[in-house]
Structures are given as C-alpha cells and as structure tokens.
C-alpha cells in the first residue's frame, strides 16, 4: 500500500478500545478531552490513567472541570496523519453527548486550505464507549482489507445501525455533573438506593429500567443480551469502571451462553469515569449480518 492510497482511522478515548486492539488495527486514539485540576491539565488516557483517576475523583471532585478536545487539536492530528496517509476517517462520540464531532468538522474545514489533497471523512457514531469502539473497529477492519473510503464508511455505518449499549450506574451522584441528569433526580436516585440501567438510542442516553443491586444489574444485562442476540454470532464487549471482578464474572457468563465472534473487556475512559463514578458495569454488542 503506497502513501497515496493509505487510510488513517481515528476515534476518541471514549470508545474504550483496548490498547492492543487499537495497535492491531492501526486505530489512532485521540483524547476526548482534558480534566483540569489543581492547576494541572490531564489529557484523557495520556496523563490521566485508569490507575489514578479514581484517587483524583475521590479527593475533591467539585474542584475538577473538563473541556473537550479543540478544533486545533484535531487539525494537528490531521496534519500528523497526513504525513503517512491521504485519507482520514474519524469515528466520533455521539454528537448529542459532546462537541467533539463539531470540533472535528471545524478542523476539516481548516484542513481544506492547510492540507489540500487530503480527504477527511467524519462519522457520528451516535453512541459511546465500546459501541462507538465497534464502529471504529469495523472501519479499521475494512481499511486493512484495502476497501475504498466509501466502502469503509459504509461498513462502519452498518455496524452503527446495529450496535447496542446498556450499562448499570452504581451511583447517580456524579451524573448530574455532565448536565444530562438534573441534580434533584440524582439525589432522589441516591435516596431510593436504585441503580439506573442506561441505554443509548439514536445518539441520546435513556434510562431503560431500575435495579436494586449489582447482582440484579448483571442479571438484567444478561436478559437484555438474550433478547437482542438469541443464537446469532455476536461481537460483544464488557465495560466497567473500577470493577474488574464483576466484569470477569459477566464476561464468563456471556462466553458460556453466546456464540461470540469476539469478546473483550474494557474500562470506561477516565473522562467518562468522571461523569459516571465507580462501579459501572455494562455491555456493548452487535450481531453478525
């Protein structure tokens, strides 16, 4: 493959793609944003690692603020990738969750003059976490097969239209910080001691149900998977925030019950953990054609 027909695939850190998969499929993962704390800037998954985010969150969470990756950051990424590729595809976090999609588009407009001859495409995944990751992986797998940019985009969109995402939030007290859940509602959730099951539909998060405890949450995730998958071959990821033991239990149950084409475990990125807190457990999946 020459430089002049090489396609570079980008996604952001919210997509939860394990590092070894990103490396295997040559996916360039950019930080979804920064956390600013105590005079320091922490880029998601670069300075801010899974190992230290929870200590930071536990210390003074009200002293944090976050900001998404800027158009200039995207433009710099496009410039870097254009040294080895003439086509670039970015699979973004849902545009309803973040300004990342719009920032990438703004950078694309700037690139028209700064990077003539480079084709840039941007896909709104309309989802998040590993569901977004599966859309990016579909694009990367098609790119490795030397498919055209149009075909690669179509492969990604086919997975986007099929992928499902469900996760159980252990504590609702953090979620209001993102502006997506009113603070009053999060306080009621804490008082009632219920855990919401969240799904993402057409780009927006919705509460699918409520469960009393973690065990019921895992049972509910398995039941949702049964309804959605049946006996068909499936690509599936287990997601968590700082609960590797529960993630392993759920992975084992899935492995025993379903015909998994691929199955992996990943943590929410630190930036996402900031929004959800510890204790999240979830699944993302899509069935084969």
Check which CATH number belongs to the domain holding 99 and give it.
3.40.50.10440
Average per-residue pLDDT for the chain: 89
Contact 102/67 with Cβ under 8 angstroms? no
Are 127 and 169 part of one and the same domain? Answer: no
* pLDDT value at residue 203: 87
Average pLDDT for 144-153: 96
Q: Give yes or no: residues 138 and 181 share one domain.
A: no
**Which range of residues forms the domain containing residue 130?**
3-32+69-160
Whether 48 shows a pLDDT value over 90: the answer reads no
Percentage of residues in the chain having pLDDT higher than 70: 90
pLDDT in tens, 183-211: 555 565 566 678 888 898 888 888 888 89
**For 22, left (φ over 0), alpha (ψ -120 to 50), or beta?**
alpha
**Residue 127 pLDDT > 90:** yes
Do residues 188 and 80 both lie within one domain? no
Q: Is the pLDDT of residue 3 over 60?
A: no
Q: What is the DSSP letter of 229?
A: H
* Selected residue with higher pLDDT from 174 and 163: 163
**Residues ≥6 apart with Cβ < 8 Å to 63:** 37, 38
Note whether residue 48 is domain-resident.
Answer: no
The pLDDT confidence band at residue 39, using thresholds 50, 70 and 90, is: confident
Domain termination residue (choose one: 103, 128, 160) = 160
Region 83-106 average pLDDT: 96
Distance CA 170, CA 186 (A): 12
Residues 251 and 185 in one domain: yes
Distance separating alpha carbons of residues 109 and 190, to the nearest angstrom:
45
Distance of alpha carbon 225 from alpha carbon 258, whole angstroms: 9
Shared domain for 25 and 117, answered yes or no, is yes
pTM: 0.92
Q: Give the pLDDT of residue 218.
A: 95
Please list the alpha-helical segments (H only) found in 161-243.
183-192, 214-229
Query: Helix H segments across 28-120?
Result: 50-59, 71-82, 100-114
Domain boundary (138, 160, 182) is at 160
Identify whether residues 117 and 194 lie together within a single domain: no
Q: Which residue has the higher pLDDT, 62 or 137?
A: 137
Q: Report the percent of the chain where pLDDT is more than 90.
A: 66
C-alpha distance from residue 9 to each of 26, 45, 127, 156 (Å): 7, 18, 17, 11
The tally of domains found in the chain comes to 2
pLDDT of 195 reads 86
pLDDT in tens, 20-38: 999 999 999 999 998 888 8
**Residue 206 forms part of a structural domain:** yes
Burial 107-139 (b: 16+ CB within 10 A, else e): bbeebeeebeebebbbbbbbbbbbbbbbbbbbb
Same structural domain, 174 and 156: no
Q: Are residues 147 and 19 in the same domain?
A: yes
Q: Are 38 and 119 spatial neighbours (Cβ–Cβ below 8 Å)? A: no
Quick one: pLDDT at residue 258?
98
Specify whether 17 is located in the same domain as 131: yes
Per the CB < 8 A criterion, the answer to whether 197 and 207 are in contact is yes
We report the CATH number of the domain holding residue 191 as 3.30.1180.10
């Amino acid at each position: 493959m020459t430089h002049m027909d090489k396609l570079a695939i980008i996604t952001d850190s919210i997509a939860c793609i394990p590092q070894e998969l990103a490396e295997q499929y040559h996916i360039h993962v950019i930080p979804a944003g920064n956390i600013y704390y105590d005079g320091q800037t922490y880029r998601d998954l670069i300075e801010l690692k899974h190992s230290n985010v929870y200590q930071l969150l536990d210390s003074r969470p009200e002293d944090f603020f976050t900001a998404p990756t800027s158009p200039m950051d995207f433009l710099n990424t496009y410039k870097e990738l254009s040294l080895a590729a003439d086509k670039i595809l970015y699979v973004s976090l849902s545009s309803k969750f973040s300004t990342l999609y719009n920032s990438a588009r703004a950078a694309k407009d700037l690139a028209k003059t700064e990077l003539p001859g480079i084709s840039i495409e941007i896909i709104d995944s309309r989802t998040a976490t590993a569901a977004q990751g599966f859309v990016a992986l579909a694009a990367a797998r098609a790119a490795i097969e030397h498919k055209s940019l149009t075909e690669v985009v179509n492969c990604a969109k086919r997975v986007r239209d099929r992928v499902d995402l469900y996760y159980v939030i252990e504590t609702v007290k953090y979620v209001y910080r993102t502006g997506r859940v009113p603070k009053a509602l999060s306080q009621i959730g804490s008082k009632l001691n219920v855990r919401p099951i969240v799904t993402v539909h057409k780009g927006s998060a919705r509460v699918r149900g409520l469960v009393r405890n973690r065990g019921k949450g895992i049972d509910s995730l398995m039941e949702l998977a049964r309804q959605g998958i049946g006996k068909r071959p499936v690509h599936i990821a287990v997601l968590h925030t700082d609960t590797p033991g529960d993630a392993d239990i759920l992975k084992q149950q899935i492995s025993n019950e379903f015909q998994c084409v691929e199955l992996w475990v990943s943590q929410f990125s630190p930036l996402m953990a900031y929004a959800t807190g510890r204790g999240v457990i979830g699944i993302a999946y899509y069935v084969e054609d």
